[in-house]
Amino acid sequence: MVLARGARLVALATLAGVALNTNLRRNAMYALKAVQFLVHGSWSYTRGGFEKHQRAYFRAEDVAVDLHDKHVLITGANSGIGYCAAEALGLRGATVHLLCRNSERGEAAKMRLVQKLSERTGAATGVSVSTSAAERVHLHVVDVSEAHSIRRFVQDYLERGFPAPNVLVHNAGAMTSPWKATSEGVEVNFATNVMGPVLLTDLLLPSMLQSDGGDHRVIFVTSAGMLTERLETKDLEWRDRARFDATRQYAKNKRQQVAIVEQYARTVSPDKVLFVACHPGWAETPLVQEAMPGFYARLRGSLRTADQGADTIVWLSCVPRSRIEDGMLYFDRNIVPKHLPLSDTSYHVRDAEELLRKVRQRIDEISAKAESSAARVAGAET
Ligand SMILES: NC(=O)c1ccc[n+]([C@@H]2O[C@H](COP(=O)([O-])OP(=O)(O)OC[C@H]3O[C@@H](n4cnc5c(N)ncnc54)[C@H](OP(=O)(O)O)[C@@H]3O)[C@@H](O)[C@H]2O)c1
């Protein structure tokens, strides 16, 4: 009896020790990744890093491209990196579709962009350009965290006869705290950063696959913050863990974006559609100011401009497709590793498959719920 109790105590103590060690190991690994991320970031992700890379290997001719026949869709295009990418691509002649959740902020961005394109294109061509600039900029009010809003947008886009997008940029991003759900009941960061982009891609993909000889590229704007996180495939909406941490949920979402890009690249022919992720470095934008005030205060003087943050999106939209490698992560016009040295963040292909399957399952649940409540309303009315 005494022996049995003793054995139980030893077993419990051993388990506690293992748990403690596992926790210590996990915390130490996390600290190691965070330190590597910050040291590397200060050297490379800042304005100084951009200028260093620009001097070393950027080629102006890569982005001196006429995009007149191209349609580019950019989510979160009313501000920061998304707006700068829209402007840079519009100045190269692309037809730009601004996907913004707020109509006033969207209209303001559209006006600013039309004005800019009119001035600059006018100077270059001398034709009556303000109309043509206005014709090349389209605002679509769409909230990428809400499945119903995305479905409505895609239906409208296709019904209006716009062509399959040549470039689809998933730029809208959220790092929102405390935990909250969208009107459809989905955790808002996951809904904006992961679920919405998957649904938007899946709904537009058939048009890209069917277009003749098209050149289509899907770009996910991720964050280097994802380097500190493992791929989360279980608790996608932070429902099972205590103490919600928006910075970590955002970083997990950004890691998920990279895995999702790989999964699309594995399943869609690159001759039809290319899938890549890119990260902008650390750029001065409202997201950084509002969601990370401490980080912003410390790095304020050395952050990149939003234009510099948008540079790789512009480059990926301009260079010939043969220069782009499907499924890769890009930063400052280069392929970069998806994992930090000595980190334990690698995962298996089946994890990425499981993730994308679960995201689509969540989308199906929302659709089923919406259909059954629409049927209830219709039933009540008849
Ligand atoms: N700035 C950086 O240093 C940095 C670093 C790494 C990654 N990134 C990534 O870069 C991307 C752009 O961010 P940013 O830095 O340029 O910040 P930003 O200026 O705040 O832009 C974020 C954009 O996303 C839009 N947005 C947010 N939720 C949305 C929703 N549900 N539906 C539609 N649009 C939505 C915002 O619209 P509202 O104006 O209506 O809020 C805004 O236009 C994000 O994906 C971010 O994660 C930025």
Q: Classify burial at 146, counting beta carbons within 10 Å of its beta carbon; exposed 0-12, middle 13-18, buried 19 or more.
A: buried
Q: Which residues pair with 96 in a beta bridge?
A: 72, 137
Among 45, 83, 157, 250, the active-site one is: 250
Ligand 1 atom with least separation from CA of 81: 16
Three-class SS state of 326: coil
Tell me what pLDDT residue 35 has.
82
Mind listing the pLDDT tens digit for each residue in 304-340? 999 999 999 999 999 999 999 999 999 999 999 999 9
CA distances from 37 to 128, 227, 248 (A): 49, 7, 14
Mind listing the pLDDT tens digit for each residue in 122-179? 454 444 444 488 899 999 999 999 999 999 999 999 999 999 999 999 999 999 999 9
Q: Which of 37-46, 254-263, 364-373 has the highest mean pLDDT?
A: 254-263
From ligand 1's centre to the CA of 5, what distance in Å? Answer: 58
Q: In 3D, which of 140, 179, 175, 185 has the Cα closest to residue 160? A: 140
Three-class SS state of 98: strand
| R_g of the chain, CA atoms, integer Å | 23
What's the mean pLDDT in 192-200?
Answer: 98
Secondary structure (DSSP) of 221-273: E--GGGGGSPPP-S-TTS-SSSS--HHHHHHHHHHHHHHHHHHHHHHS-TTTE
- For residues 197 and 257, the answer to whether their CB atoms sit within 8 Å is yes
Q: Is 226 touching ligand 1 by the criterion CB < 6 Å?
A: no
Protein residue closest via CA to atom 7 of ligand 1: 223
- For residues 169 and 312, the answer to whether their CB atoms sit within 8 Å is no
Tell me what pLDDT residue 124 has.
46
Three-class SS state of 138: strand
Q: Is 223 touching ligand 1 by the criterion CB < 6 Å?
A: yes
Of 11-25, 61-75, 319-333, the one with minimum mean pLDDT is 11-25
Residue 90 to residue 37: CA distance in whole angstroms: 34
Residue 191 has pLDDT above 80, yes or no: yes
What's the mean pLDDT in 290-317?
Answer: 94
Q: Is 46 touching ligand 1 by the criterion CB < 6 Å?
A: no
Residue 376 has pLDDT above 50, yes or no: yes
Average pLDDT for the chain: 90
Residue 11 has pLDDT above 80, yes or no: no
- The full set of domain ranges for the chain reads 30-381
Residue 18 has pLDDT above 50, yes or no: no
Residue 179 to residue 213: CA distance in whole angstroms: 44
Mind listing the pLDDT tens digit for each residue in 80-137? 999 999 999 999 999 999 999 999 999 999 999 999 999 875 454 444 444 488 899 9
Tell me the H-state helices in 45-142: 47-57, 80-91, 103-125, 129-135
CATH number of 30-381: 3.40.50.720
Ligand 1 atom with least separation from CA of 303: 3
- Residue 178, preceding peptide bond in cis (omega within 30° of 0): yes
- For residues 228 and 37, the answer to whether their CB atoms sit within 8 Å is yes
Tell me what pLDDT residue 173 has.
98
Is 250 catalytic? The answer is yes
**Cα 359 to chain center, whole Å?**
15
Tell me what pLDDT residue 7 has.
53
Tell me what pLDDT residue 21 has.
60
Tell me what pLDDT residue 351 has.
98
Q: Is 308 touching ligand 1 by the criterion CB < 6 Å?
A: no
Percent of the chain with pLDDT over 70: 91
Residue 292 has pLDDT above 70, yes or no: yes
Residue 9 has pLDDT above 60, yes or no: no
Q: Is 165 touching ligand 1 by the criterion CB < 6 Å?
A: no
pLDDT class of 5 with cuts at 50, 70, 90: low
CA distances from 194 to 166, 171, 198 (A): 21, 11, 6
Q: Is 197 touching ligand 1 by the criterion CB < 6 Å?
A: no
Residues across the chain: 382
**Cα 338 to chain center, whole Å?**
15
Tell me what pLDDT residue 4 has.
56
Ligand 1 atom with least separation from CA of 288: 1
Helix or strand (DSSP H, E) at 96: strand 95-100
Q: In 3D, which of 222, 105, 102, 110 has the Cα closest to residue 171? A: 222
From ligand 1's centre to the CA of 173, what distance in Å? Answer: 4
Three-class SS state of 43: helix
Burial 180-207 (b: 16+ CB within 10 A, else e): eebebebbbbbbbbbbbbbbbbbbbbeb
Ligand 1 pocket test, pick from 75, 79, 153 with the greatest ligand atom count within 8 Å of Cβ, gives 79
Q: Is 253 touching ligand 1 by the criterion CB < 6 Å?
A: no
- For residues 195 and 359, the answer to whether their CB atoms sit within 8 Å is yes
Mind listing the pLDDT tens digit for each residue in 218-274? 999 999 999 999 999 999 999 999 999 999 999 999 999 999 999 999 999 999 999
